[in-house]
A and B are shown apart, each in its own frame.
Chain A
Amino acid sequence: GAVVSQHPSRVICKSGTSVKIECRSLDFQATTMFWYRQFPKQSLMLMATSNEGSKATYEQGVEKDKFLINHASLTLSTLTVTSAHPEDSSFYICSASGGLTGELFFGEGSRLTVL
């Protein structure tokens, strides 16, 4: 199946700094990618839908200026957590739909820890 890769898999940063997480579709083009957030022992919550060449669509309650999403190419979407705080510590997962069936493929996730 298609592969979606996230980088970095783990990142630790100081409070107040910004962190960028990349999501790449390795063997297919993805016009749409999705970013999720998962708190411990909870489900995945959709944060935003990333559309290539246009602005991302954010879910209710997600701060656009806090979580910057850029989808500059058909194979890359980035999530930047700006001025990170400890409460932003979480597991962030991206997904992309690809192939003839439009099946969703997930990245391996990125664990962010803000000190």
Chain B
Amino acid sequence: AQRVTQPEKLLSVFKGAPVELKCNYSYSGSPELFWYVQYSRQRLQLLLRHISRESIKGFTADLNKGETSFHLKKPFAQEEDSAMYYCALIQSGGSNYKLTFGKGTLLTVNP
């Protein structure tokens, strides 16, 4: 069964500090990994996906198949990055986008 693990429920950093939100997954096939973000009082939205290999709002995430990880990183955190972050996995090639979510990490960036 596929599983997504986010070991940290809470993460607090100061503005300008680097931040890394950890995500590990277990899946027998070749997965597609995503990071979703939910800002306060807003809906869940896609932040980035590993197949795009892009940087969104300064965040990047690299899929490490050897470590089965997809950690989200940003070199200099900003206060507006404070939000709930969810790592998610989908079976590669799946057509129905059935996502498995991690439990989420609440990031707080302090001034």
Contacts and interface: CB of A to CB of B under 8 A. Distances in A.
B101 A44 contact: yes
A32 B97 contact: yes
Contact of A34 (B46, B86, B98): B98
A108 B43 contact: yes
Interface in A13-50: 32, 34, 41-46, 49
Interface stretch (A68-76, A80-88, A96-104): A96-104
A103 B46 contact: yes
Contacts of B36: 106
**Category for how many chain B residues contact A:** 10 to 19
Nearest to A45: B101
Interface in B29-49: 36, 42-46
A97 B44 contact: no
Nearest to A5: B43
**Category for how many chain A residues contact B:** 20 to 34
A107 B36 CA distance: 13
Nearest to A97: B97
A45 B101 CA distance: 7
B28 interface: no
Contacts of B9: 41
A49 B45 CA distance: 19
A104 B103 contact: no
Contacts of B86: 43-44
A109 B97 contact: no
Given A43-B86, A93-B44, A109-B43, A104 B101 contact: no
Interface of A: 1, 4, 32, 34, 41-46, 49, 93, 95, 97, 102-109
What are the 7 tightest A-B residue pairs by CB atom distance, in nearest-first order?
A106-B44, A43-B103, A108-B43, A43-B101, A44-B101, A97-B97, A106-B43
Given A1-B45, A108-B43, 7 more contacts: A32-B96, A32-B97, A43-B101, A46-B100, A97-B97, A106-B36, A108-B42
